[in-house]
Amino acid sequence: MRNAGQRASPRFVLLVLPILLAGGAAFAENIDPTNNGSQYAWAENLGWINLQPNGPGGDGVQVTDSGLTGWAWAENAGWISLSCQNTSSCGASAYGVTNNGSGTLGGYAWSENKGWINFAPAGAGVVINGCTGVFSGRAWSENAGWITFSSTGPSPYQVATSWRRTCSDNNACTTDTCNPATGCVFTNNTNACNDGNACTINDTCGAGTCGGTAITAPPETQILRALTKATYSWAAATFATQYDVVRGGLGAFPVGPGGAEEVCFDNLLGPSLSDATVPAAGTGFWYLSRGENACGIGTFGTQGVHGTPGAPRTTTTCP
In this prediction the pTM is: 0.69
Mean pLDDT score across all residues of the chain: 90
Q: Whose CA is closest to 145, among 40, 76, 45? A: 45
pLDDT of amino acid 26: 60
Cα 80 from Cα 69, distance rounded (Å): 10
Confidence band of 28 (pLDDT split at 50, 70, 90): confident
Cα 211 from Cα 203, distance rounded (Å): 5
pLDDT of amino acid 303: 82
Which percentage of the chain shows pLDDT scores above 70? 92
Confidence band of 197 (pLDDT split at 50, 70, 90): very high
